[in-house]
A = this chain, B = another copy of it.
Amino acid sequence: MRILTQSNDPELQLRRGLPFEEVVQIEKGDCCNVEEPPVKINSGFDVAGGIENCMWLSSSNSYSSVLRRQHFLIRSLGASFPLQTCHNQMERIHCASVSIPEADAEGVIRKITPVLDPSRHKGQAGRIAVIGGCREYTGAPYFTAISALKIGADLSHVFCTKDAATVIKSYSPELIVHPILEESYSVREDERETVSSYILAEIKKWLERFDCIVVGPGLGRDPFLLNCVSDIMRHARQLSIPIVVDADGLYLVTNNIDLVRGNSLAVLTPNVMEYKRLLEKVLNCDVSNDNQSEQLRLLSQKIGGVTILRKGKEDLISDAKTVTKVSTFGSPRRCGGQGDILCGSVAVFTSWARRYVMSGIPSSETSLNPLILGCVAGSVLLRKAASGAFLSKKRATLTTDIIEFLGQSLEEICPAK
Contact = CB atoms under 8 A, between A and B. Distances in A.
Contacts of A410: 394-396
Contacts of A123: 14-15, 334, 336
A257 interface: no
Given A15-B123, A123-B15, A209-B15, A149 B398 contact: yes
Given A149-B398, A336-B155, A20 B173 contact: no
A299 interface: no
Interface stretch (A45-53, A78-86, A138-146, A227-235): A138-146
A399 B113 CA distance: 21
Nearest to A153: B335
A116 B170 contact: no
A127 interface: yes
A249 B239 CA distance: 30
A272 to B, nearest CB: 6
Interface residues of A, number: 82
B337 A174 contact: yes
A287 to B, nearest CB: 13
B119 A399 contact: no
Interface of A: 12, 14-15, 17, 19-21, 113, 116-125, 127, 135-140, 142-143, 149-152, 154-155, 163, 166-167, 169-179, 208-209, 211, 271-272, 313, 329, 332-339, 354-355, 358-359, 390, 393-400, 406-408, 410-411, 415-416
B166 A396 contact: no
Nearest to A171: B173
A358 B16 CA distance: 11
A149 B335 contact: yes
A416 B400 contact: no
Contact of A334 (B125, B208, B272): B125
A130 to B, nearest CB: 13
A18 to B, nearest CB: 10
A127 B12 CA distance: 13
Contact of A176 (B117, B139, B174, B176): B139
B176 A136 contact: yes
Contacts of A209: 15
A179 B119 contact: no
A245 to B, nearest CB: 18
Contacts of A211: 15, 17
Nearest to A210: B15
A173 B139 contact: yes
A27 to B, nearest CB: 18
A268 to B, nearest CB: 18
Nearest to A139: B173
A166 to B, nearest CB: 6
A394 B334 CA distance: 28
